[in-house]
């Protein structure tokens, strides 16, 4: 029996249509929402998945992981930037997976996922770490979920991203996640990495302080999940280039995101970072939708 369930699927590109496919099958050229019971989070998890018109389960198909930001779930990227992202990915034969940002009950009130009344901590704000502090340590294992459990499911059950044929990108908290995961795991696991308006120096901003103190017990413990700290400590560059887009009108730019920190870390380690400061753009999905094809094209170079 399959380890996952397809909740819904929606055709988003014309090519790949198969009249013989059923509701329980992955279908080329479609965006799917898929649920499964997670060993990492001890909850049902739902992720979005676009598979290109060239998808065949008998092949090893390359995939990009998209990590969303604070308050988001598995649907935000697909609804607000998916049109351009999926069309561009289809041209390169790339899949895109969009995991949730935290565990959550999904309407099952018997599942006790700890939460607080705050947009920047708890449900919708897992920060892509493995929590060590109670009561969060039982469920908030988003690092393991994104780097181990979800890849295992996609690789073994759907032939997506095997042998390290995967890249990672994200926005804001998800940009933090994509940078730190790629820097910690390296090029054998992730062929390339990019980010939109990432939290670049999480140990030196309010969002990071709150997350690291609550999930890990201290800001000090968060240094192993700080993109600038990790990059500055590199003995040798890992990637040919890391692509970052940042809007100049982003209201979180100075207080939370701090791209200057990643620039300094890049200069110290020699790791190349292409930082595009986009005049007049803010922190929204309009910004992401405008430049998402640049990022998909960037990853396609390394996944071809």
Query: What CATH number is given to the structural domain containing 68?
Result: 3.40.50.1820
The residue annotated as part of the active site, out of 176, 283, 295, 299, is: 283
Rounded Cα gap, residues 191 and 60, in angstroms:
15
Query: Domain of 172?
Result: 5-303
> Tell me, what's the pLDDT at 1?
34
DSSP string for residues in 111-163: S-----S-TTSBTTB-TTSB--STTGGGT-BHHHIIIIIHHHHHHHHH-BSGG
pTM: 0.97
The residue annotated as part of the active site, out of 250, 269, 295, 299, is: 250
The residue annotated as part of the active site, out of 159, 167, 172, 228, is: 172
Per-residue pLDDT of the chain (304 residues; tens, 9 = 90+): 358 999 999 999 988 888 778 877 899 999 999 999 999 999 999 999 999 999 998 999 999 999 999 999 999 999 999 999 999 999 999 999 999 999 999 876 667 899 999 999 999 999 999 999 999 999 999 999 999 999 999 999 999 999 999 999 999 999 999 999 999 999 999 999 999 999 999 999 999 999 999 999 999 999 999 999 999 999 999 999 999 999 999 999 999 999 999 999 999 999 999 999 999 999 999 999 999 999 999 999 999 8
**Short-list 9, 195, 189, CA closest to 86:** 9
Residue 294 is among the residues annotated as catalytic for this protein: no
Residue 283 is among the residues annotated as catalytic for this protein: yes
Residues recorded for the chain: 304
**Short-list 191, 210, 201, CA closest to 70:** 210
DSSP string for residues in 179-225: HHHHHHH-TTT-S-EEEES----GGGSHHHHHHIIIIISSTGGGGGG
Domain count, the chain: 1
């Amino acid at each position: 029996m399959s380890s996952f369930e397809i909740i819904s699927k929606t055709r988003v590109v014309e090519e790949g249509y198969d009249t013989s496919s059923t509701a329980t099958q992955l279908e080329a050229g479609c965006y799917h929402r898929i649920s499964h019971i997670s060993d990492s989070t001890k909850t049902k998890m739902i992720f979005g998945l676009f598979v290109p018109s060239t998808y065949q389960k008998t092949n090893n198909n390359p995939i990009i992981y998209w990590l969303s930001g604070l308050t988001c779930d598995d649907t935000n990227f697909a609804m607000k930037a998916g049109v351009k992202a999926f069309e561009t990915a289809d041209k390169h034969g790339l899949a895109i997976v969009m995991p949730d940002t935290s565990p959550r009950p999904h309407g099952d009130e018997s599942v006790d996922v700890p939460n607080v009344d705050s947009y920047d901590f708890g449900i919708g704000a897992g920060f892509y770490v493995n929590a060590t502090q109670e009561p969060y340590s039982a469920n908030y294992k988003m690092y393991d979920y994104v780097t181990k459990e979800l890849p295992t499911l996609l690789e073994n059950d759907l032939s997506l991203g095997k042998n390290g044929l995967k890249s990672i990108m994200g926005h804001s908290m998800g940009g933090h996640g994509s940078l730190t995961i790629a820097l910690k795991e390296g090029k054998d696991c992730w062929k390339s990495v990019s980010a939109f308006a990432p939290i670049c120096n999480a140990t030196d901003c309010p969002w990071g302080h709150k997350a690291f103190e609550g999930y890990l017990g201290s800001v000090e413990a968060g240094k192993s999940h700080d993109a600038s700290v990790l990059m500055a400590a590199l003995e040798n560059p890992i990637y040919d280039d890391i692509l970052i887009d940042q809007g100049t009108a982003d209201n979180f730019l100075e207080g939370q995101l701090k791209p200057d920190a990643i620039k300094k870390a890049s200069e110290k380690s020699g790791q190349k970072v292409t930082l595009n400061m986009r005049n007049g753009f803010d922190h929204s999905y309009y910004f992401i939708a405008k430049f998402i094809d640049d990022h998909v094209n960037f990853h396609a170079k390394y996944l071809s």
